[in-house]
Structure 1
Amino acid sequence: MTSSGTCVLRTRGLGQRYGEAWALRDCSIVVEPGSVVALTGAPGAGKSTLLGLLAGLESVSEGSAEVLGEPVRPGGPHPAVSYLSQVRPLIGDFTVAETLRLGAALNPRRWDDARAADLTGPLPRRRRASELSAGQRAVLALALVLGTRPELLLLDEPLAGLDPLTRRRALAAVTAHVAETGATAVLASHEIDDLQNACDRMVFLERGHVLLDADIDALLTEHRVLLGPAGAVSWSADHDVVVERRLHGRSQTVLVRGVAPGAAPGWQESPPDLLELVTTYLRTTDDRREGPR
């Protein structure tokens, strides 16, 4: 395992261009050991591109990336990195039992049979992967990833297609692995309600750029939802801290960032939850993409 003083993941000015379009641009992040990071943003924001680059699936267009203290090179993930794409690559003719045995055979020194078996407990062992539901295939693919005892997990929409109970089991398996081994996980997902309790940090991408990167508790603390009368903002504040204003007849709701508590006398204040925060930022990025209406 990496030592506590070593960053697990670092990017500097990372960018990826396809033709004339940039899928990722000037992306700089540092992730410490033991973190569970929620990677979110609108579709097309660059989440899958970032995870693919960190997994060494292709050469970067600009900047650099390091995982576990080594530069990322094209050709596939670092031996201690497990990457799960949205494709869920499984051999359709293999049964669940055969798939798990293959995982153990390909990773003889790293395989954790107990963890893989725990997550796949409800799956019918004799059923072929091609006969499983989308949610069951997602669970089996995640079990293969966790079974290798990775130091860094890169998970692209690992909760997609899962029912609420299975989502909780899958997240519990990921966080248990992190807690027990000191590993690090980065999860690209839109299941925000689940992520709030499982993740300690959020990276929000907007059109290939890092818009937010902070500890989730700190992020929620520095934002507040204010409810007051419609019209001009009635407190002295730098308008850069106003994330969004929404009118509701004679009242308005304002999400603000960085304004001191009590700075808006006469307004009702409440903290946002992570879903409300992310949804608001998604709306504002969508508005900027579409321009004036």
Structure 2
Amino acid sequence: MTGPDAPDALRATGLGFRYRARGGWTLRDCEFTVPRGRITALVGRNGAGKSTLLHLAGGLLRPETGELQVLGTTPGTPQARARVALLTQEKPLYPRFTVADTLLLGRKLNSSWQQAPAEQIVREGDIPLHARVGELSPGQRSRVALALALGKRPELLLLDEPMADLDPLARGEIMATLMSEAAEHGTDIVLSSHVLPEMEQTCDWVLLMRDGRIELSEDADELRESHTVLTGHADQDGALAGQGVVHSRTSGRQMTALVRRHGPLRGDWHVERPRLEDILIGYLQADAPARPAPAERTEAA
């Protein structure tokens, strides 16, 4: 179901989770919404809770507190499993199976299975269908795992660092495949990755995590429009009072600041529009959360 009345791709309310053996909370008080029709960048430092969030959305884990909904349903239920595909970092495959056996398994387990796109992803990587999975390179196994996920024709595709094992050329090919999937079939995609530049042209929604909480959940274009990179003399930092200073650095007498604007700027600044990568790095570098004013927040956590 798509359109203005369709349920959100993801919606969390008071979401929390902890691995009891580790102590402490991996996720705490997460509140966010990801609307339908988006390619979402899930960004955060190592240990921020990205994989845990995707595992919860995929139904592999259950929340300790709060609620998480995927496509208006509860993760892990038959309704959700039929509509959601999760590709984890581990990419669990049967090493003794051939690639053809693996795709056959996908067909038998999924009523919505489409063989052609699954085989296309495999063939684009020059992977023989008769090859055994355990004899493939890590990058080739990543392609086979992605073929399984896309062959299912999911409405929501959750990808946890899916291309870490791929060379730059293969990464570009896979990203093009994902973009095509989203455009042609309306597939919602949530992509966790540390390669921020590849998010710039592909992702139109941002989920940024810090220390187990959601710091940003917003439209990528709106983030670009509302943020500014300012460069000027360091002694005018007081002119930034009232602005949302996300991160700043001083070198000699010059200061550079990433700012979320709240009203007109004061002072003598060189103003640049930041890339999405600049904004994400700024929030990840920030010593403390720099949250936008309530009036300017739309889908922020």
TM-score of the two chains, using structure 2 as the length reference:
0.87
- Partner in structure 1 of residue 127 of structure 2: 124
Q: Which residue of 1 aligns with 2:283?
A: 281
Deviation sequence 1:113-166 (CA, Å, 0-9, x none) = 221122222232132222222222111111110000001111111121222221
Contact kept in structure 2, 1:156 and 1:188, CA below 8 Å: yes
- The reply on whether 1:86 has 2:89 as its aligned counterpart is yes
Q: Summarize deviations over 1:153-201 as a string: whole Å, max 9, x none.
A: 1111112122222112212222222222222111111111111211110
Residue matched to 2:254: 251
Higher mean alpha-carbon deviation, 272-281 vs 33-42, is at: 272-281
Match of 2:143 in 1: 139
The alpha-carbon distance between structure 1 residues 158 and 103, as it changes in their structure 2 partners (threshold 3 A), is same
RMSD, aligned α-carbons: 2.3
Partners of 1:34 and 1:119 in 2: how far apart? 23
**Who is 1:228 aligned against?**
232
Contact 1:56 1:75 in 2 (8 A): no
Give the Cα separation in 1 of the matches to 2:14 and 2:179: 29
CA offset digits 1:37-74 (Å, max 9, x no partner) = 11111111111111111111122110011122222357
Of 258, 267, 270 in structure 1, the residue corresponding to residue 269 of structure 2 is: 267
Displacement of 1:233: 0.9
TM-score of the two chains, using structure 1 as the length reference? 0.89
The amino acid that maps onto 2:92 is P
Structure 1: gaps of 5 or more residues: 289-293
Q: Could you say which residue in structure 1 is the equivalent of 2:117?
A: 115
**SS in structure 2 of the partner of residue 78 of structure 1:** helix
Q: Within 2, Cα distance between the matches of 1:221 and 1:2?
A: 27
Over 3 Å counting, the alpha-carbon distance change for 1:245 and 1:8 in structure 2 is closer
Asked if the contact 1:243/1:254 (under 8 Å) is kept, the reply is: yes
The alignment-based identity, stated in percent, is 41
> Are the counterparts in 2 of residues 37 and 185 from structure 1 also a CA contact under 8 Å?
yes
Aligned partner letter, 2:33: V
Do structure 1's residue 213 and structure 2's residue 211 form an aligned pair? no
Tell me, in whole angstroms, the C-alpha distance in 1 between the residues paired with 2:274 and 2:240: 21
User: How many aligned residue pairs are there?
Assistant: 285
Q: Residue 47 of structure 2 is aligned with which of 33, 44, 49? A: 44
Code of the residue aligned with 2:12 in structure 1: it is T
1:76-118: CA deviations, max 9, x gaps? 96221101110011111222233223222322x3112221122
Structure 2 contact 74–80 (Cα < 8 Å) conserved: no
Q: Structure 1 residue 178 and structure 2 residue 182: aligned?
A: yes
Distance in 1 (CA, whole Å) between partners of 2:77 and 2:47 is 22
User: In the alignment, does 2:69 pair up with 1:61?
Assistant: no
The gaps in structure 2 that reach 5 residues or longer are 291-301
1:219 Cα deviation (Å)? 0.5
Question: 1:25 pairs with 14, 19, 28, which one?
Answer: 28
Q: Which residue of 1 aligns with 2:293?
A: none
Q: Which amino acid aligns with 2:256?
A: T
Cα separation, 1, equivalents of 2:127 and 2:185: 29
Q: 2:296 maps to what in 1? A: none
| 1:8 matched residue in structure 2 | 9
Contact 1:58 1:75 in 2 (8 A): no
Partner Cα separation in structure 1 for residue 92 and residue 46 of structure 2: 22
CA distance in 2, matches of 1:10, 1:276: 26
Q: Assess if the C-alpha contact under 8 Å between 2:87 and 2:146 holds in 1.
A: yes
CA distance in 2, matches of 1:63, 1:75: 21
**Residues in 1 aligned to 2:79 and 2:133: alpha-carbon distance in whole angstroms:** 24
Answering whether residue 165 of structure 2 is matched by residue 164 of structure 1, we say no
Q: 1:76 and 1:156 mapped to 2: Cα distance? A: 22
Amino acid at match of 2:235: G
1:257-288 CA distance string (max 9 Å, x none): 12456x14421111111222222222225999
Assess if the C-alpha contact under 8 Å between 1:39 and 1:187 holds in 2.
yes
1:286 and 1:104, CA in 2 relative to 1: closer, same or farther beyond 3 A? farther
Counterpart amino acid of residue 171 in structure 1 = M
**What is aligned with 2:299?**
none
